[in-house]
Chains A and B, each alone.
Chain A
């Protein structure tokens, strides 16, 4: 059964919401059920952003993710807030350039990626989100990388496609390590 309950979290402007959107589009490419729910409340007004994405071959009940199979964090407050939300045996992906502490959990998989540095090498710090998303897809196999690329091509800005693609691949390499 293909099923992932994912939380993406970080600061506004890091591409948190679009990371989730591209994954949702990729899920649709594969005829999976998807839902995408952004934070829009007072926490957003404090500068942090997060979204819950569910990708499943089953019907989706609540779009809210309480127990995440995967959490991606791009800042320290997000790690503090969501580390405990990962289910046992689940996956935590950390942008280690921006998060200044180690994960405390030992019962989950943790992938640490210096995503800012990697993204800068590829072309721009702005696509650090894609590095992390590449790792997520490679590790969880919830969608095929081709589907994600297709989603990027159809719904992303064309001039960034090649750069985004490279960023995804770099991230995937980290997941294979």
Chain B
């Protein structure tokens, strides 16, 4: 077992990427994720890899596009307004079917918003963000350790499906320190990049062309169908979630991810003392959304579900699509960088369950 070290979430992201073999990092500073870039700027040159502070987020994502096209592992990192700027590039990368990892350490929005933790980029991350029929795999870790583990997974999944993968944290996860272990991982059998990466002809006659432009509608439709098939595979294979305290008959099941799910675990312990049986579904992949987790509890939960978010109900519709009207879906959230206390959430649960017993 590797030794545990105490590390800030943002720095752990950098180290995890390095250990996953990230060859290039392109970024632009923005609170609350600047430590990712700072860490990479210290470490990458020392080990002969590329760190580059781009002139803008737009430039950074296009550098990612280029590096990914050459087949190396590449990452960029930003926070909400910066990730908005990257959307065009992300859509191109998805269209050109290139693997890369994008970090979003979310802050409150819309607009420049604030710098405190938020989850208000859920729609942007899971429903598109950029233009066109594409999907990102979106991981939502809830601890520094999980962030590290998921970043290593993210590089693998990106390579397997030739698709951009986003790891979405929030300001709190980025700034907090927790003990973390960088586990030795078994090398995964990954598909070769030799048949598409633009690395020079090397005696070949055919060029490898990286492109997202298909002017013939027949051709573009075929391309889209291929992408959709890939996304269906991802939905089948890559769903991740945690079910916490979900055995037996339940009063209410909370649904939350990231930082908030940790607060929900405190709430569950608090309410158990008052005789309420509360479970938690914690999506670890926001896309693909863990629909099947709901099948496991929908018949056993008396008052239905409560989505708890640092946003204004953005996850509710995914929950409703999973529950399919069989039980009520409620919502409680704070926004703008406000983080609810366990008591606030507990009060909402008690309100739904008709008061404490």
Q: Number of contacting residues on A, CB 8 A?
A: 20
Kindly supply a per-residue 1/0 record for chain A positions 57-89, scoring 1 wherever the CB is within 8 Å of any chain B CB and 0 otherwise. 001111110100000000000000000000000
The answer to whether A35 and B178 have CB atoms under 8 Å apart is yes
The stretch from A36-44, A125-133, A167-175 touching chain B is A36-44
A58 to B218, CA, bound (A): 59
Interface residues of A in 31-56 (CB under 8 A from B): 33-38, 40-42
Q: Does A24 have its Cβ within 8 Å of any Cβ on chain B?
A: yes
A40 to B266, CA, bound (A): 23
Kindly supply a per-residue 1/0 record for chain B positions 252-276, scoring 1 wherever the CB is within 8 Å of any chain A CB and 0 otherwise. 0000000100110110010000000
A21 to B32, CA, bound (A): 19
Name the B residues within 8 Å of A24 (CB-CB): 6, 177
A37 to B235, CA, bound (A): 35
Q: Does A25 have its Cβ within 8 Å of any Cβ on chain B?
A: yes
Name the A residues within 8 Å of B53 (CB-CB): none
Chain A's nearest CB lies how many Å from the CB of B115? 6
Interface residues of B in 88-107 (CB under 8 A from A): none
Chain B's nearest CB lies how many Å from the CB of A168? 19
Interface residues of B in 305-339 (CB under 8 A from A): 337, 339
A60 to B266, CA, bound (A): 9
The answer to whether A63 and B6 have CB atoms under 8 Å apart is no
Kindly supply a per-residue 1/0 record for chain A positions 86-102, scoring 1 wherever the CB is within 8 Å of any chain B CB and 0 otherwise. 00000000000000000
Q: Is chain B's binding surface mostly helix, strand, loop or mixed?
A: mixed
Among B171, B263, B343, contact of A40 (Cβ-Cβ < 8 Å): B171
Chain B's nearest CB lies how many Å from the CB of A46? 14
Chain A's nearest CB lies how many Å from the CB of B344? 10
Among B179, B263, B269, B337, contact of A41 (Cβ-Cβ < 8 Å): B337
Q: Does A145 have its Cβ within 8 Å of any Cβ on chain B?
A: no
Name the B residues within 8 Å of A59 (CB-CB): 265
- The A/B interface has a contact count, at CB < 8 Å, of 62
CB closest chain-B residue, reference A58: B269
The answer to whether A36 and B342 have CB atoms under 8 Å apart is no
A62 to B262, CA, bound (A): 5
Q: Does B211 have its Cβ within 8 Å of any Cβ on chain A?
A: no
The answer to whether B176 and A37 have CB atoms under 8 Å apart is yes
The answer to whether A34 and B6 have CB atoms under 8 Å apart is yes
A10 to B341, CA, bound (A): 23
Q: Does A28 have its Cβ within 8 Å of any Cβ on chain B?
A: yes
Name the B residues within 8 Å of A40 (CB-CB): 31-32, 115, 171, 175
The answer to whether B115 and A63 have CB atoms under 8 Å apart is no
Name the A residues within 8 Å of B342 (CB-CB): 61-62, 66
Q: Does B127 have its Cβ within 8 Å of any Cβ on chain A?
A: no
Chain A's nearest CB lies how many Å from the CB of B107? 10
The answer to whether B6 and A38 have CB atoms under 8 Å apart is no
The answer to whether A63 and B116 have CB atoms under 8 Å apart is no
A28 to B180, CA, bound (A): 11
The answer to whether B172 and A63 have CB atoms under 8 Å apart is yes
Q: Does B4 have its Cβ within 8 Å of any Cβ on chain A?
A: yes
Chain A's nearest CB lies how many Å from the CB of B106? 14
A35 to B259, CA, bound (A): 13
The answer to whether A66 and B341 have CB atoms under 8 Å apart is yes
Among A28, A38, A64, contact of B263 (Cβ-Cβ < 8 Å): A64
CB closest chain-B residue, reference A20: B177
Name the A residues within 8 Å of B269 (CB-CB): 61
CB closest chain-A residue, reference B32: A40
Chain B's nearest CB lies how many Å from the CB of A113? 26
Please judge, given known A-B contacts A28-B179, A35-B178, A36-B6, whether A61 and B265 are in contact too, CB under 8 Å.
yes
Name the A residues within 8 Å of B6 (CB-CB): 21, 24-25, 28, 34, 36
Chain B's nearest CB lies how many Å from the CB of A24? 6
A33 to B262, CA, bound (A): 14
A24 to B263, CA, bound (A): 20
A25 to B176, CA, bound (A): 14
Among B31, B32, B176, B337, contact of A63 (Cβ-Cβ < 8 Å): B176
Please judge, given known A-B contacts A40-B115, A40-B171, whether A35 and B177 are in contact too, CB under 8 Å.
yes
Among B115, B116, B176, B341, contact of A36 (Cβ-Cβ < 8 Å): B176
Chain B's nearest CB lies how many Å from the CB of A37? 4
Name the B residues within 8 Å of A21 (CB-CB): 6, 177
Among A25, A35, A61, contact of B266 (Cβ-Cβ < 8 Å): A61
CB closest chain-B residue, reference A32: B179
Task: Provide a sorted-by-A list of 10 A–B residue pairs whose CB atoms are within 8 angstroms.
Answer: A21-B6, A35-B177, A36-B177, A42-B114, A60-B262, A61-B262, A62-B265, A62-B266, A63-B176, A66-B341
Given A36-B178, A40-B171, 8 other A-B residues pairs in contact with their CB atoms under 8 A: A25-B6, A34-B6, A35-B176, A37-B172, A38-B175, A38-B176, A61-B266, A64-B339
- B-to-A contact residues, CB < 8 Å: 4, 6, 31-32, 114-116, 171-172, 175-179, 259, 262-263, 265-266, 269, 337, 339, 341-343
Which 7 interchain pairs have the tightest Cβ spacing?
Answer: A61-B266, A36-B177, A62-B263, A61-B265, A37-B176, A62-B262, A61-B262
